[in-house]
Amino acid sequence: MLELAHIRTRHADSISIRRPSGNFFEEQGSPRSPLSQGVPPELKNLLAEIIFILTCTAGQIVFSLTLGNVTITQTLFQEALDISPTQAPWLVGSSLLASGLSVIISGSLADLTPPKPLMVGAFLWQAVWNTVTAVAVRPNLKILFFVARAMQGLSVGVLVSASMSILGRVYNPGIRKTRVFSLMAAGAPFGFFIGCLQGGALSAHLPWIFGSTAMFLALCALAAHLTIPSLRPAQDSPSTEVLSLRQFDYTGAFLSALGISLIMFGLTQGSSAHWNPYTYTMIILGFLMLGGFYFVEQRVSRPIIPNGLWRTPGFAALLISYFLGMGAYGGAWQFYAITFWQRYQGATPLTAALYVLPNAIVGVLATWIVSKTLHLVPGHWILTASMVAFGLGPVFFLPQTPDSSYWTLSMPGVALTTFGPDMSFAAAAIFITSSVPRSYQGSAGSLLVTVQNLAIAVMTSVGNSIGEKVDALPSGEIGLDGIRAIWWFGLAAALLGALITGTVVRIPRAEEKEHAQ
């Protein structure tokens, strides 16, 4: 991080710079000032910048932490809430469903309003609902528990999209932005490990998993209030209209949020309801809503997602490959790897949490590699390598038996597959946010997170259906042969993603430039 202070590059021709105006910073045109890759003018010094970046990274940490602390203790929560194994997907699905609902809306809101209050409010909202969840860990309050988990998911979507809006707006495309976004990507594996460790350590005191998280979130809210600069909506050029909520696409937001929610609800509920007609109906209605969203977006003055982004060469293929890779990792491998350790190898929640340690260490290494190489090699090389890494998790777990040593197969599998999500997120996020105007940073980032959430929901649902068809136990759980079938499915999805990325996606090397106009 210290080396960020020494980066200075030049950029000729007309650019825009950020100058202080009262308590806010606004975009103004200037043909003379060089494009700086030093400490952004919104921040006082390097120390303030480090704290600011860590605060924005907390959004990714919280997203993964709240998944990890429940995933690692899923069996204990089934017992504590007195729910059946078929209802277990909602322990994670309720949060992901709400996150998918909020993220695509909050990305645009963060672009059209000062994002600082959104970040502070989201941290506080999350802290309050973690407190409620802690109280609701009992059978007679299980409905409140799932509602509270959903309320947590709403704020997670805001945190992730608002932090991407802020970072994308403050940093011009270049080496400094590459390193900042790489650091933010490292928050996901680190957060998941911390969440697993937290859940494992507090497995005998389940309410305190959420109570301790609430305390951490309160500190994050204070840090956000003290470090995030007050930013006005960005102007892409001095001649453009100052943005505000008047430009918010309410119809598009309603259709996209409802469509994504219906799809994710139908997919998550599908397995537990044995794919009743109403689950199919939900999914079909969801896709119809997304079709209406596409129709509306072609006709509004400021769409939620800039239409020009879809015309970027290879962009659609990038989203498809990212969907396949993240789905293979989060939906068809990681969840069942933890299940395998606990059910078939007898690992306690704390032991399973320690098994995930390579995820945190290698995740930081992977994002560091991206920060060092994205300016040297085309981004699609990095993305293709990440797709191959996604497939290495299943490769190392398919041969395993209940007697397999952790150090022989599980440890290298966890370590190598971690290169997948962190390299892909960093490369894709930098490419997408650098391909849209400054005023669309949150919207572009929210699209990537939306695809990620949908990928996990879809692949979990499909994988669970495959596992049940192959090996369903009388208890309703999936047997070992079924888990292996799911891992084969994940491997196939990852390799298909690698094929698409290697042949269709083309991401140029990152370079110092202004945002797209």
Same CATH fold assignment for domains 42-246 and 310-516: yes
What gap in Å lies between CA 406 and CA 14, rounded to an integer?
57
What letter does residue 11 receive in the DSSP assignment?
A: -
How much of the chain is helix, strand and coil, in % rounded to 5?
Answer: 70, 5, 25
42-246: which CATH architecture?
Up-down Bundle (1.20)
CA-nearest of 517, 503, 500, 112 to 308 is 517
Residues with Cβ within 8 Å of 253's Cβ and at least 6 positions away in sequence, in order, are 104, 105, 108, 304
What gap in Å lies between CA 260 and CA 101, rounded to an integer?
7
Which bin fits 472, alpha (ψ -120 to 50), beta or left (φ > 0)? Answer: beta
Phi/psi of residue 19, each to 5°? -120, 145
pTM as predicted: 0.82
CA-nearest of 512, 438, 516, 376 to 9 is 512
Please report, in tens digits, the pLDDT of each residue of the chain (517 residues total).
434 444 433 333 333 334 333 333 333 333 334 444 578 888 888 888 888 899 989 888 998 999 999 999 988 999 999 988 777 777 887 888 788 778 878 888 888 888 889 999 999 999 999 999 999 999 999 999 999 998 998 898 889 888 888 887 788 777 888 888 888 888 888 899 999 999 999 999 999 999 999 999 999 999 999 888 887 776 555 556 666 677 888 898 889 888 888 888 888 777 666 778 888 898 899 999 989 988 888 888 888 887 777 777 778 889 999 999 999 998 899 989 999 999 999 999 999 999 999 988 888 888 788 788 877 888 889 899 999 999 999 999 999 999 999 999 999 999 999 999 888 887 888 788 777 777 787 787 788 888 888 888 788 888 888 998 899 888 778 899 999 999 999 999 999 999 999 998 887 776 555 555 5
Residues with Cβ within 8 Å of 284's Cβ and at least 6 positions away in sequence, in order, are none
| Cα dist from 78 to 92, 95, 462, whole Å | 12, 16, 22
What gap in Å lies between CA 236 and CA 242, rounded to an integer?
9
Residues with Cβ within 8 Å of 79's Cβ and at least 6 positions away in sequence, in order, are none
Domain 310-516 falls in which CATH fold? Growth Hormone; Chain: A; (1.20.1250)
Residue 143 CB coordination number (10 Å) = 10
- Residues forming beta bridges with residue 21, ordered by sequence position: 24
Burial class (CB in 10 A: 0-12, 13-18, 19+), 318: buried
| Cα dist from 220 to 30, 428, 502, whole Å | 36, 26, 40
CA-nearest of 160, 48, 64 to 110 is 160
The domains of the chain are located at: 42-246, 249-301, 310-516
